[in-house]
């Protein structure tokens, strides 16, 4: 289980992340296939998949499998409409709207997919890469979530 607190998801590389997300969006747009129909697909109004309860929220990791993040590291997760960004402690990650980086529903389902990561290898503090790997794996295994008392809890 992962617990994140609401608040500042300050990421010193945010401009870079937004730029990467924008470039990913442009590249994805260039690889699209031509539309074969001008009739919009029917939508199922009985589900709430189009409602995005996490859009516009920013979180900072406070616990991962019962462990607090290492001193001197900040792990963040930010959801925008169709965009996911954050810092895993050393590397940053993100996904643009065309890559479908996440799906959150009002009934607590959460799927995080197709995120891009920087590939730096940080040596300090000792153990940071192991912490980052555990966080990324937990994020990619996300299946459900709930928000309680200003904390986002993510479960696999």
Average pLDDT, consecutive stretches of 10 residues, N- to C-terminus, the chain (156 residues): 68 44 41 46 45 89 94 93 91 80 87 85 92 92 92 92
Q: For residue 79, is it within any domain?
A: yes
**Per-residue three-class SS string for the chain:** CEEEEECCCCCCCHHHHHHHHHHHHHHHHHCCCCCCCCCCCCCCCCCCCCCCCCCCEEEEEEEECCECCCCCCCCEEEEECCEEEEECCCCEEEECHHHCCEEECCCCEEEECCCEECCCCCCCCCCHHHHHHHHHHHHHCCCEEEEECCEEEEEC
Q: Can you give the pLDDT at residue 1?
A: 76
**pTM of this prediction exceeds 0.85:** no
For position 37, what pLDDT does the model report? 44
- Asked if 108 and 146 count as a contact pair (C-beta separation under 8 A), the reply is yes
What does the alpha-carbon distance between residue 113 and residue 126 come to, in Å, rounded to a whole number? Answer: 28
pLDDT number for residue 118: 92
Q: Is residue 148 part of a domain?
A: yes
pLDDT of residue 6: 81
Q: Does residue 45 form part of some domain?
A: no
Q: Is residue 83 part of a domain?
A: yes
In a domain, 150, yes or no: yes
pLDDT at position 8, please?
Answer: 56
Residue 43 lies in a domain: no
CA 140 to chain centre: 9
**Domain-embedded: residue 41:** no
CATH number at residue 127: 2.40.128.270
Query: Which pLDDT value is given to residue 126?
Result: 93
Please report the pLDDT score of residue 21 as a whole number: 44
């Amino acid at each position: 289980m992962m617990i994140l607190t609401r608040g500042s998801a300050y990421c010193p590389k945010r401009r870079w992340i937004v730029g990467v997300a924008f470039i990913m969006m442009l590249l994805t747009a260039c690889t699209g296939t031509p539309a074969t129909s001008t009739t919009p697909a029917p939508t199922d109004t009985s589900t709430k998949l189009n409602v995005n309860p996490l859009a516009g929220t920013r979180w900072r990791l406070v616990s991962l499998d019962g462990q607090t993040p290492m001193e001197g590291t900040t792990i963040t997760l930010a959801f925008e409409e169709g965009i996911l960004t954050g810092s895993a402690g050393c590397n940053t990650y993100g996904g643009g709207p065309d890559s479908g980086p996440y799906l959150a529903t009002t009934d607590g389902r959460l799927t995080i997919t197709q995120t891009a990561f920087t590939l730096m290898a940080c040596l300090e503090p000792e153990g940071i890469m192991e912490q980052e790997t555990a966080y990324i794996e937990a994020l990619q295994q996300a299946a459900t979530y709930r928000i309680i008392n200003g904390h986002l809890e993510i479960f696999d």
